[in-house]
Amino acid sequence: MTGTLDEAALAELLREGRHAEAAARLAAAGETLRAAELYASVWKYPEAVECAERAGRLDEAYRHALSGEDRAAQERLRDRLLLEPEQARRAAGFAETKGRLADAALLLDRAGDSAAAAVLYERAGELLDAARLLELSGQLREAGRLYEQRLRESPEDGEAALRLGVILARFGRYEPATRVLQKAADAASGRAAALRLLIACLDALGLDRAAASRLDELRALDPALPVTVPDYLLASFGDARGFAALARDSASSAGPDASRWLAGRYRVVRPLGSGGTGRVVLAHDAFHDRDVAIKVLNVADGAQGRDAFARFVREARLAAAIEHPNVVRVFEFDPSGPFLVMEFMAGGTLEDRLAAQRALSPADVRPLLDALLEGLAAVHRRGVVHRDLKPANVFFDAAGTVKLGDFGVAHLADLGATLTGAMLGTMAFMAPEQISGGRQPTAATDLYALGVLLVRMLTGALPFPGPDFVQQHLESLAPAPSVLRPALGAAYDPLVADLLAKAPSARPQSCDDLRARLASLPWPALADDAPAARPAPGTQPPPAAPTSRERYLPAPDSVRLCAPDLGATLARDTVLERLVWLVPCDDARLAHFRACAAADHPHLQAVFDVDVATSTAVLEAPAGQSPSAESLRTPTLAASLLEALESLHAAGLAHGHVEGACVVTSPERAVLLLPARQSADATRASDLTQMRALLG
């Protein structure tokens, strides 16, 4: 029974500082919530908890238990709050403020706010719980990332291995799924579940004996299971060929779009090119949410098909073993396709650029050569000779980074292999020893091809134009670059003569040797004064590349600035039909954006070009808007921005302005915009501090 509250007497008690006595009178009068606040103000937290509970406000009682550091009361109230979603959400805010992240995540989880709960679980280090919520909400890529992180921290975690194996298998990634499921099968908990999925993955990989062996282990746990793998798969998946076959069957019967999936994971977007032995397609990797290029081999019957497959496998193994910023990255090789998954080079090839320009300015050639030499040096350090260096195998990513690719005819220098296939490659760029097959290719063989490429870039013509390439490479002397393009002068003539020497021993012997020669030469910016290449009979010469003034036209609408003090203008790239920012630059800013171009990441603003002649940097103009505080707390957006920042740090740069004004978000992606220039006091640590503040 409650008493009557005398407000005047209550006020007098408060003036006299007798708060506990005032709180007791409030509680006696039934004003338990007011009483709880008064008790808390004089640190009588047990009484505050009791009064708030009597008022039916479990969230307020939980807040007072947090303030009083009463762990027993916190746990008791937390369990009761799990039945009160609205109060649980408010209590989660109190718990987060006090640093009780795991408790806050649990409360939000039970309140149905899975996205916010996943973020808090991850911040609390509870990766399994965070991944579980992401998986339930269909965010499999993010869930897989957390399971992988958990396994790096705790390699023996069978539950994380099992869940990651399930995700990988769903995307058709049977080989990595097999590896993690073997870990899960070795753990006591979840062994049977891991074995069931492991058998299907091994069968999908064609490892019949391994699948049968694992089925024997599973039958030791459950003797009622079928004896043979096909019978087991039929009972488990409704098809004796397992779920890999089911995925293929469902794709072929689900309509025209479904059949354009590879391995149940890569959605084919469009063809990029084709040749006698296969094709290359642009695809979207559903697991990692990125565009990739996939080279698919068409294997013929007989010895010719076996040789083509052997070269394809060798390319996959060689390319996957080389990790370098100037070498096209290989993500995966699937021998069952067979196909090779590589990073997508959105900037096209050097062949594309040379088709549009008869010759390049020496100032533009030098950075291309430097990048190619870096990539070639990485290849040669692995004991590999590329043997097919030509413009079509020199790629550009979206940021303009030069990358060497296509190791289809590469040769391991230390294997002592026969010269079978030595004639592979493009004749116009082949060294004499390749054509004659008289000796094993070396690094000097690639440098000969680089010499041909150098002449083509500087003059717009090939030193040996054919059609009798064999006779010309073996016997003829190449014309000096100064003859083909007089404006060059004679500075490059000795270097080209050495690179195109008939005897490999007379050429530079390594990329380092050539790099030293390049440093001693002038590389000026020249106008396009090369004579027009003579078109073949019945064809038209390629159109000249548009000048910067013609290529970039003002965009119709004004758009927000990329970053503070950038001074950029929005323009339309008429060649590639995209919006770009044109940024006026001094020498320091040109160097800054050139360095930023090396930090290539899909969620970092791309540097498309750095034009020294016009003192202009051409940057990506990402579509979108400034992020809201709520959107910055979503796991996928936060992870994207952190990865973009890490790519900048990996290039040896710091941002210095990690704030909302430097972020653009859209339904497709989040983009971290580049700073106007390198800040003198910016560090990796200060960037991460700013990022934490931005993400809350």
- Alpha helix locations (H) across 480-605? 481-484, 493-499, 511-519, 548-551, 587-596
Nearest residue to 81 (alpha-carbon basis) of 71, 72, 92: 92
Question: For residue 268, what are the β-bridge partners?
Answer: 283
Q: What are phi and psi of 369, to 5 degrees?
A: -65, -45
289 membership: H or E segment, kind and range: none
DSSP result, 195-248: HHHHHHHHHHTT-HHHHHHHHHHHHHH-TTS-SSHHHHHHHHHSSTTHHHHHHH
Site of tokens 């030069």: 402
CB atoms within 10 A of CB 232: 23
Q: Based on DSSP, count helices (H) and strands (E) in the chain, helices before strands.
A: 30, 17
Q: What angle do CA 24, 29, 34 make, to 5 degrees?
A: 65
| Positive or negative: CA dihedral 451, 456, 458, 459 | positive
* CB of 619 closer than 8 Å to CB of 552: no
| Residue 275 neighbours by CB under 8 Å, 6+ apart | none
7 membership: H or E segment, kind and range: helix 7-15
Q: What angle do CA 257, 261, 264 make, to 5 degrees?
A: 130
Which CA distances in Å does 432 have to 18, 392, 499? 102, 21, 12
Q: What is the DSSP letter of 651?
A: T
Nearest residue to 348 (alpha-carbon basis) of 395, 390, 389, 295: 395
Site of tokens 């034009």: 611
Q: Which of 388, 397, 406, 600 is catalytic?
A: 388
CB atoms within 10 A of CB 367: 16
* CB of 315 closer than 8 Å to CB of 277: no
The amino acid at 151: L
Site of tokens 């910067």: 548
The amino acid at 128: L
Nearest residue to 317 (alpha-carbon basis) of 201, 170, 443, 415: 415
The pair of structure tokens assigned to 100 is 């009780």
How far, rounded to the nearest angstrom, does the alpha carbon of residue 411 sit from its chain's CA centroid? 29
* CB of 139 closer than 8 Å to CB of 640: no
Q: Is there a catalytic annotation at residue 446?
A: no
* CB of 417 closer than 8 Å to CB of 383: no
Q: What are phi and psi of 130, to 5 degrees?
A: -60, -45
* CB of 50 closer than 8 Å to CB of 69: no
Q: What angle do CA 395, 396, 402 make, to 5 degrees?
A: 85
* CB of 393 closer than 8 Å to CB of 446: no
Q: What is the DSSP letter of 502?
A: S
Site of tokens 């106007």: 676
How many whole angstroms separate alpha carbon 177 and alpha carbon 162? 9
How far, rounded to the nearest angstrom, does the alpha carbon of residue 489 sit from its chain's CA centroid? 44
Q: How many residues does the chain have?
A: 696
- The DSSP bridge pattern shows strands 278-285 and 266-274 to be antiparallel
How far, rounded to the nearest angstrom, does the alpha carbon of residue 448 sit from its chain's CA centroid? 34
Q: So which residues are the catalytic ones?
A: 388
